Every structure is written in structure tokens, then in C-alpha cells.
């Protein structure tokens, strides 16, 4: 079929008006994916992978700018009575009322991580067929003459027209945008329409609000919502137009793929602690250092939440320790981390010199505000003053060492 947008033009396009009865409840799958994009690190959104059908596929310029997608619900409707001219009750003519307010849908992955998707119906269209030609219905007129306010391309308020339509002598295909909380949109017939009017199917546009994928675990999330179809139900086409099926289910499938990678520069796995400014002040002037320290940078790429903790070769309480085997002496080693901008703790605070403990307390959750690609962070290693005094004994040569494993764990419960 082809579109035209100039009212009054009368194309000679035939529309099939036969339909078959649906055998089972209508089920539609809506698939969306998230993968971090280093070229657009600030874009933390799912991409809808479900190809539009019907209106938004035929006229994408009317949908894409406002984030709409459309699907065809293959649920035929048939009139159970004639539509009388100038009917007083809008439910006895051509009307539509859809669930245009936002509804919430819980989506859950295999481990039980649950998030909320919001959906609303934002448009409605019909492939309408008539038992007589429009000329016979109107005594020689056209679709503009059949309905009050003009043809169905002119949407009745509060619905909004989109300016495109296909039409023939026995059929009319149009689409209305439905604002949030719109209520009923109804057209009054100006001529009698005998029994036999039908909708081959209806097209609905939907709008999505997806959760922040950076706060979700990697994996597949599923959830569903079921709408009712029929008089005084979710999809309500009035009391005359009766559907062959009363259920429409939307299944949501969200796939989250994350990046979590930490790179230590070559040689960075060997950390040598020294006083600030080196050992010269002690060797030349006998000044004991107040602390021993070393900062080690790393590069992190992250689109997922993670936690951190340490494992130790030598343990001293909740700390790691450095050990001198000859003297049989150990001192606590303080390890802390500074994360790059864009990574915060569970309270949304930046992470500056945050202590790392063996039990992971205080570092249970770090989360990105956007995808970070090879951003620089720093590990801080330090022996405090009291411990340094114990290490440096006149007349004794000592060498302290120990292995520390720093863990970035993306398995956050």
C-alpha cells in the first residue's frame, strides 16, 4: 500500500476486508539489548531490537523522532450491530481507548536480580473494512463526509493525527497518536453504517522506559504484561466493534552485556615502598622516615557494578602485613584505592583513598555513572609511622615483603 498526506485526494486503492478468527491469545515479544559503546560512553540506554510493524515501519519519520515503535495485533474486530448516523453515545460509533498511562513490568534474570521496565501505549491504528463502498454509504461522498470532523486521518481529541493514511472505496487505514492519560477518542458517524464493518487488525504504538543497564547484572532479563481487549477493557473499541480475542501479552526480553577489565602497567605488580623523597634523608642525615609508601596506577574499563577487597600472604587482623622472616616480625600494610571520575560508591560519593580490607567492608559496591574505557585509577600502599619505627632498628638490616592480591569483583549481589 502507499501513503498520501493531502486530504481530499481520492486514490483508487483496494483494501482486503476479509479476516480470520485468531486461534490463540496474541503474544508479542519485545527484545532490547545493552552493550557498552566506547564511542558513546555517556549513552547508557537499551537498544530496542524489535522491528516495528505497521505504521511506524511504513512512516518512520512520524515515530522515530519521538521514540515510538509499533506492532500489529492480529486480532480482528467485527461489528455486532449497525452504527447509526448521529449516534449520541460515543461507544456506539468508531472509538478507541487504550492504556496510555505508564505501566510497570518487573524483569528478572536467572539469579533473581529484578528491575522495572515502564511501558505505555502511545498510538492506535485500524485497518477498517466496510460492507458498502464509501460512495454508497454517503450517497456519493468520500471519507471526509462519513465522519464528523472529517475522515479518520483527522484524529478526534484528545488523540492526535499524524497526517498519513491509506484508503480505498471499501477500506480505510489510519493511525492516531495517543497522549499520556488521553482517555477516549471517538468519531461520530454522519451516515448509517450497516452491520459488516470490521477491523482486520489493529496497530498499536508503544513507548518504553528501560532501567539503567549500568545498575544491572550481566545476563538475560524477562518479564511480561497482559492487556485485555474488548468493551470496557484495556484496548476498548466501543460496544459495537467486538474482538475475536480478549488478550494481548507483551513479553520483554532484555539482554545486558558488560565490560569489566583492569590493566596494570608492565612491572606494576612489583611495588617497592619508600619514604617520600627517597632514603637519602635517613642515609645522609639520620632522619627516620615517617612513613613508607608507593602509589600504583591502573587502567579500568567498566560498565558494571563491582566490589573490591584484598587477599593476603600475611594477615594482621583485617589488614595485610609485611613480614621479616629473620626477625620474625610483621607490620600492617594499609591498602587504599582512588577510582576515576564516573565511578562512585553506593551513596553516589567519589572514591578517594578508600581503604581496602580483607572482608571488603566499605567497598561492597562501586558503580559507574557512564561507561568508562581505560580510565586511570590508583592503588595506594602505605606503612604508617608507628610501624616504620618498629621496622628501622639501628644496627639491624631487615627486608620486609609480602604478597597482596587486589580483587575487583563484578559479581555483586
At residue 15, does pLDDT exceed 80?
Answer: no
Distances (CA, A) of 184 to 124, 156, 223, 229, 237: 12, 9, 28, 15, 9
Q: Can you tell me the distance from the alpha carbon of 186 to that of 180, in angstroms, rounded to the nearest whole number?
A: 16
Query: Of 218, 230, 216, 214, which is closest to residue 80 (Cα–Cα)?
Result: 230
Taking alpha carbons only, the member of 153, 148, 196 closest to residue 172 is 153
217 touches 172 (CB < 8 A): no
For the chain, percent of residues with pLDDT exceeding 90: 78
| Residue boundaries of the structural domains of the chain | 26-256, 260-409
pLDDT of residue 284: 52
Q: What confidence tens digit (pLDDT) does each residue in 72-82 have?
A: 999 999 999 99
- The confidence score (pLDDT) of residue 22 equals 38
Mean pLDDT confidence for 395-410: 89
What is the model's pLDDT at position 18? 33
The C-alpha atoms of residue 231 and residue 243 are separated, in whole angstroms, by 9
Q: How far apart are CA 174 and CA 55, in angstroms?
A: 9
Residue 23 pLDDT > 70, yes or no?
A: no
Q: Is the pLDDT of residue 345 over 90?
A: yes
Q: Reduce the DSSP state of residue 277 to 3 states and report it.
A: coil
Q: Residue by residue, what is the 3-state secondary structure of 59-128?
A: CHHHCHHHCCEEEEECCCEEECCCECCCCCCHHHCEEEECCCCCEEEEEECCCCCEEEEEEEEEEEEEEE
Query: Grid coordinates standing for 175?
Result: 493511525
pLDDT at 16 over 70: no
Residue 390: per-residue pLDDT: 82
Which residue reads 573490591 in cell numbers?
A: 308
Beta pairing class for 171-177 and 160-161: antiparallel
- pLDDT given at position 198: 97
Whether the predicted pLDDT of 17 surpasses 50: no
pLDDT tens by residue, 361-383: 999 999 999 999 999 999 999 99
**Highest averaged pLDDT of the listed ranges 2-6, 138-142, 259-263, 286-290:** 138-142
Query: Distance between CA atoms of 164 and 4, rounded to whole angstroms?
Result: 6
Sign, CA torsion 277/282/287/288: positive
Give the model's pLDDT for residue 283.
57
pTM above 0.85, yes or no: no
pLDDT value of residue 286: 60
User: What's the CATH architecture for 260-409?
Assistant: Sandwich (2.60)
Amino acid at each position: 500500500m502507499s501513503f498520501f498526506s493531502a486530504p481530499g485526494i481520492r486514490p483508487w486503492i483496494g483494501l482486503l476486508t476479509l479476516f480470520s478468527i485468531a486461534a490463540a491469545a496474541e503474544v508479542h515479544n519485545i527484545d532490547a539489548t545493552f552493550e557498552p559503546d566506547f564511542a558513546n560512553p555517556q549513552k547508557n540506554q537499551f537498544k530496542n531490537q524489535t522491528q516495528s510493524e505497521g505504521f511506524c515501519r511504513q512512516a518512520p519519520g512520524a515515530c522515530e523522532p519521538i521514540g515510538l515503535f509499533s506492532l500489529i495485533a492480529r486480532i480482528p474486530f467485527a461489528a455486532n450491530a449497525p452504527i447509526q448516523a448521529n449516534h449520541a453515545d460515543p461507544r456506539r460509533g468508531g472509538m478507541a481507548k487504550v492504556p496510555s498511562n505508564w505501566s510497570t513490568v518487573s524483569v528478572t534474570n536467572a539469579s533473581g536480580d529484578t528491575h522495572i521496565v515502564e511501558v505505555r501505549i502511545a498510538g492506535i491504528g485500524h485497518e477498517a473494512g466496510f460492507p458498502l463502498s464509501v460512495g454508497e454509504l454517503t450517497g456519493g461522498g468520500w471519507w471526509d463526509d462519513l465522519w464528523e470532523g472529517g475522515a479518520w486521518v483527522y484524529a478526534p481529541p484528545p488523540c492526535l493525527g499524524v497526517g498519513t493514511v491509506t484508503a480505498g472505496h471499501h477500506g480505510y487505514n489510519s493511525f492516531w497518536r495517543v497522549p499520556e492519560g488521553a482517555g477516549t477518542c471517538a468519531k461520530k458517524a454522519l451516515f448509517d453504517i450497516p452491520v459488516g464493518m470490521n477491523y482486520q487488525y489493529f496497530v498499536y504504538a508503544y513507548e518504553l522506559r528501560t532501567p539503567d543497564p549500568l545498575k544491572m547484572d550481566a545476563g538475560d532479563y524477562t518479564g511480561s504484561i497482559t492487556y485485555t481487549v474488548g468493551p470496557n477493557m484495556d484496548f476498548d473499541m466501543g460496544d459495537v466493534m467486538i474482538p475475536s480475542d480478549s488478550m494481548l501479552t507483551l513479553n520483554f526480553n532484555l539482554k545486558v552485556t558488560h565490560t569489566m577489565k583492569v590493566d596494570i602497567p608492565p612491572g606494576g605488580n612489583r611495588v617497592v615502598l619508600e619514604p617520600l623523597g627517597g632514603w637519602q634523608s635517613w642515609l645522609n642525615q639520620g632522619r627516620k622516615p615517617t612513613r613508607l609508601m608507593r602509589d600504583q596506577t591502573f587502567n579500568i574499563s567498566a560498565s558494571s557494578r563491582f566490589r573490591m577487597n584484598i587477599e593476603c600472604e600475611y594477615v594482621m587482623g583485617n589488614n595485610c602485613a609485611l613480614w621479616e622472616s629473620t626477625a620474625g616480625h610483621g607490620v600492617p600494610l594499609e591498602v587504599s584505592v582512588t577510582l576515576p571520575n564516573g565511578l562512585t560508591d553506593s551513596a553516589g560519593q567519589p572514591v578517594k583513598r578508600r581503604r581496602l580490607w580483607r572482608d571488603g567492608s566499605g567497598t561492597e559496591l562501586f558503580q559507574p555513572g557512564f561507561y568508562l574505557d581505560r580510565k586511570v585509577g590508583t592503588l595506594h600502599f602505605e606503612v604508617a609511622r608507628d610501624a616504620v619505627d618498629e621496622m628501622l632498628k639501628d644496627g639491624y638490616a631487615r627486608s620486609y615483603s609480602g604478597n597482596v592480591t587486589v580483587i575487583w569483583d563484578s559479581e555483586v549481589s
